[in-house]
């Protein structure tokens, strides 16, 4: 799939992986990128400016993807503003840090928040975008996680939500074929500001170093490296229903 002249929506697009995807799309010739955000308005606007500096149009759109009415409005505004929609990258996500053995902290509110954004939000975006994507023979890439493959990660609901995204990706690849391709990427540890904000610089460096040493490539991914994987799935016209793990090779056989 040629990206030149295409219009994309990237949810959670203001920071981290989402920002890197938007920039990659602009560099590849996308005509316009809608940068979705729910809280990070300043970061979303900064991403818009960076995308525009690369020659593409861009627009920051505030929407909570767990609210279907806001998702539908975002899709409608995108098509009204830019005339089409070709690419959807579902990157918006949330989690809570809860030890897996601590079942009592997994309240209904925790489950509802994490599943609402990560899984239901991904579905809402796919469903709302599907009619426009069908018209353009478009592509969807969902951001899952190695936590959806293995019992690791920040909490049980997070892993369950990401496992759900993997199955949703496979199901939608069949449901939307042959008009729309649907794939996912599963990052392992990614070097983003999120960990530094939570744990501080020193603890984050120690964590990332430890995880990197447990990978065959002795490295963890950057947001841009995850964005590379997203772009590979956007651009390859024969791949659908697949998940691409981006974890330095750890899942190939390392614990």
Task: List residues with catalytic annotation.
Answer: 158
User: Which residue in the block uniquely carries the two structure tokens 């936590």?
Assistant: 147
The span from the CA of 115 to the CA of 128, in Å, is: 18
User: Minimal CA–CA distance to 195: which of 215, 223, 227?
Assistant: 223
Are residues 229 and 246 in contact, defined by beta-carbon separation less than 8 angstroms?
yes
d(CA 68, CA 65) in angstroms, rounded, equals 7
Give dist(CA 141, CA 120) in Å, integer.
Answer: 15
Q: Among 18, 25, 39, 7, which residue's Cα sits nearest to residue 187?
A: 18
């Amino acid at each position: 799939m040629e990206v030149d002249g295409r219009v994309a929506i990237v949810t959670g697009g203001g920071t981290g992986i989402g920002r890197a995807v938007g920039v990659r799309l602009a560099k590849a010739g996308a005509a316009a990128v809608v940068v979705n955000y729910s809280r990070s308005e300043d970061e979303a606007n900064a991403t818009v400016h960076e995308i525009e500096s690369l020659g593409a149009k861009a627009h920051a759109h505030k929407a909570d993807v767990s609210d279907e009415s806001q998702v539908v409005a975002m899709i409608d505004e995108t098509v009204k503003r830019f005339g089409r929609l070709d690419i959807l990258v579902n990157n918006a996500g949330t989690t809570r840090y809860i030890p897996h053995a601590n079942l009592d902290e997994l309240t209904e509110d925790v489950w509802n928040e994490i599943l609402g954004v990560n899984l239901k939000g991904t579905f809402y975006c796919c469903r709302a975008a599907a009619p426009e994507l069908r018209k353009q023979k478009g592509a969807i890439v969902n951001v899952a996680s190695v936590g959806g493959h293995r019992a690791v990660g920040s909490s049980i609901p997070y892993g369950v939500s990401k496992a759900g995204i993997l199955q949703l990706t496979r199901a939608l690849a069949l449901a939307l074929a042959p008009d729309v391709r649907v794939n996912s990427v599963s990052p392992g540890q990614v070097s983003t500001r999120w960990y530094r904000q939570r744990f501080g610089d020193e603890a984050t460096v120690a964590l990332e170093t430890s995880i990197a040493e447990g990978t065959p490539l002795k490295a963890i991914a950057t947001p841009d490296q995850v964005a590379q994987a997203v772009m590979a799935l956007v651009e390859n016209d024969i791949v659908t229903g697949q998940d691409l793990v981006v974890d330095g090779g750890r899942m190939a056989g390392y614990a």
